[in-house]
Amino acid sequence: MLSVLRHPAYRRLFTAQVLALAGTGLATVALSLLAYDLAGADASAVLGTALAIKMVAYVAIAPLIGAVADRIPRRALLVSTDLIRATAALALPLVTEVWHVYALILLLQAASAAFTPAFQATIPDVLPDERDYTRALSLSRLAYDLENLFSPALAAALLAFLPYGALFTGTATGFLASGALVASALLPAPAPVERAGGVFTRAAFGTRLFLATPRLRALLALELVVAAAGAMVLVNTVVLVREVLGRPTGDVALAFGAYGAGSMAVALCLPRILDRVGDRALMLLGAFLATAVLALLPLGLSIAPGPWSWPALLTAWCAVGAATSAVLTPGGRLLRRSAARTDLPAAFAARFSLAHACWLLTYPLAGWTAAHAGLGVAAGALSGVALLAAVAAVRLWPRTDPDELEHVHPELAPDHPHLRGAARRHAHDFRIDSLHPRWPGPGLTERPRRGRTAA
């Protein structure tokens, strides 16, 4: 997997990602302490509102940025958003009112909503070989997992010697270092794309691409499975460990560590697995594994806790981490197959926005249901959502999913440049664009000359 780091541009981009994620992890801890300083017992309400602002920024802003990303030099876009994030982080310890926190969080997360999809869309161009790109996806997943594991530990070590405000300085340093590395990398320029309509029409294209492409509709359903399982872990772990099992505070971190360890294990093995197993088979397996763990939780919670409970929870969270990694990591490969190079920024922005819309649904479902009806009911409700989404993914994603599809163009003149002397009924790598606004119907079957079986 590490062989992909031999590419100089990708090596700089991956290091930038790691540094930015480390800074984000420090900010998460520092923001909690800042909220407590400003609001005391109401700190959870402040943090909840800040999280809601983050999700709204992700859902609303990412598609708009994706609509214009092809018109902005990639390096300028990535570096400028890193500078904005660093500025917001440096300003956070200076605030004196809660609304100041909300305004700065909105600024920081809006910049992240611009940075992340543009960064993700750059990697396929930097690494055109599919095997290299798969390794890069696994490394990216690994970076996120390491951030979840090590950033809290780094924050705890720094807080032993420094006030929490210094963590925001560490956050800004991470973003500035990320910007410097991106600035030093040689990045391919985005090819301009001509698309009718204004910014909002172009912003909607990424969503239309998802809804018109069968494998991407399935990917959206799988994102909902991940959001259901992840929300149960992220929202209710502290209650499970402290209240249900009566474990010490430090075991909360161990439970999250088990979740991250499962995800890391799959990320490390994924390039070899995908050499033998198709994306569809692996991602659907991960979705049903996550659903099964959620479905078993109410049974475990209905039994009085015993010596088996703590190992069982660690095993369950490890399995959920492995399952979600199996779903999330290959997703970039689906986008790369499904969008033209010029449309990749819009496709990644749409995925970023739609995936966070799923979390915006499951976060309150996990928290409010657990608070008012109990953890077992919350797990049951989330498993129901996950099961419906997993079944939908099976139905939406054809078992045979070739790149090349036969289709017709009755609307085009015989001398149209797209036909290039071919018949109106022809075949090529099919992607949704201005000339192909709809997926070919079942009456127009795909040619078997070149393609792949998803399962």
pLDDT (tens digit, 9 = 90+) per residue, 289-327? 999 999 999 998 888 788 889 999 999 999 999 999 999
150-169 confidence digits (pLDDT tens): 766 677 677 778 787 888 89
CATH code 1.20.1250.20 for 1-181:
yes
Question: What per-residue confidence (pLDDT) applies to 117?
Answer: 81
Q: Which residues contact 455 (CB under 8 A, 6 or more apart)?
A: 278, 280, 281, 399
Q: What is residue 400's DSSP assignment?
A: B
Tokens representing residue 245 in the block: 């099992």
Query: Identity (one letter) of the amino acid at 414?
Result: P
Does the pLDDT at position 148 exceed 80? no
Question: What per-residue confidence (pLDDT) applies to 449?
Answer: 40
Angle of helix 214-239 versus helix 279-302 axis, rounded to 10:
30
CA-CA distance, 89 to 395, in Å (whole number)?
44
Does the pLDDT at position 135 exceed 50? yes
- Work out the average pLDDT over 368-375: 84
Tokens representing residue 424 in the block: 């109106």
CA-CA distance, 57 to 436, in Å (whole number)?
31
Asked if 320 contacts 293 with a C-beta cutoff of 8 angstroms, the reply is yes
Buried b (16+ CB within 10 A) or exposed e, 82-104: bbbbbbbbbbbbebeebeebbeb
Asked if 363 contacts 226 with a C-beta cutoff of 8 angstroms, the reply is no
Q: Which residue has the higher pLDDT, 390 or 267?
A: 390
CA-CA distance, 75 to 122, in Å (whole number)?
10
Query: Identity (one letter) of the amino acid at 80?
Result: S
Asked if 370 contacts 301 with a C-beta cutoff of 8 angstroms, the reply is no
Highest mean pLDDT among 10-24, 137-151, 261-275 belongs to 10-24
Phi and psi based region of residue 71 (left: phi greater than 0; alpha: psi -120 to 50; beta: remaining):
alpha
Percent over 70 (pLDDT), the chain? 83
Angle of helix 309-328 versus helix 250-276 axis, rounded to 10:
40
Would 1-181 and 199-399 be classified into the same CATH topology?
yes
Query: Identity (one letter) of the amino acid at 137?
Result: L
Q: Which band of pLDDT confidence, cut at 50, 70 and 90, is reported for residue 447?
A: very low
Distances (CA, A) of 319 to 194, 212, 259, 265: 45, 32, 7, 10
Question: What per-residue confidence (pLDDT) applies to 249?
Answer: 65
Question: What per-residue confidence (pLDDT) applies to 122?
Answer: 85
Q: Which band of pLDDT confidence, cut at 50, 70 and 90, is reported for residue 450?
A: very low
Domains in the chain: boundaries:
1-181, 199-399
What is the longest distance spanned by two Cα atoms in the chain? 75
Q: Which band of pLDDT confidence, cut at 50, 70 and 90, is reported for residue 201?
A: low
Distances (CA, A) of 230 to 6, 145, 259, 325: 33, 13, 9, 11
CA-CA distance, 415 to 421, in Å (whole number)?
7
Which of 297-311, 321-335, 438-452 has the least mean pLDDT? 438-452
Q: Which band of pLDDT confidence, cut at 50, 70 and 90, is reported for residue 373?
A: confident
Highest mean pLDDT among 22-36, 116-130, 282-296 belongs to 282-296
CA neighbor of 63 nearest in space, from 118, 23, 126: 118
Does the pLDDT at position 424 exceed 70? no
Does the pLDDT at position 226 exceed 80? yes
CATH code 1.20.1250.20 for 199-399:
yes
CA-CA distance, 121 to 190, in Å (whole number)?
10
Q: Which band of pLDDT confidence, cut at 50, 70 and 90, is reported for residue 23?
A: confident
Place of tokens 């664009």: 433
Tokens representing residue 23 in the block: 């800074």
Does the pLDDT at position 67 exceed 90? no
Question: What per-residue confidence (pLDDT) applies to 152?
Answer: 63
CA neighbor of 343 nearest in space, from 191, 200, 197: 191
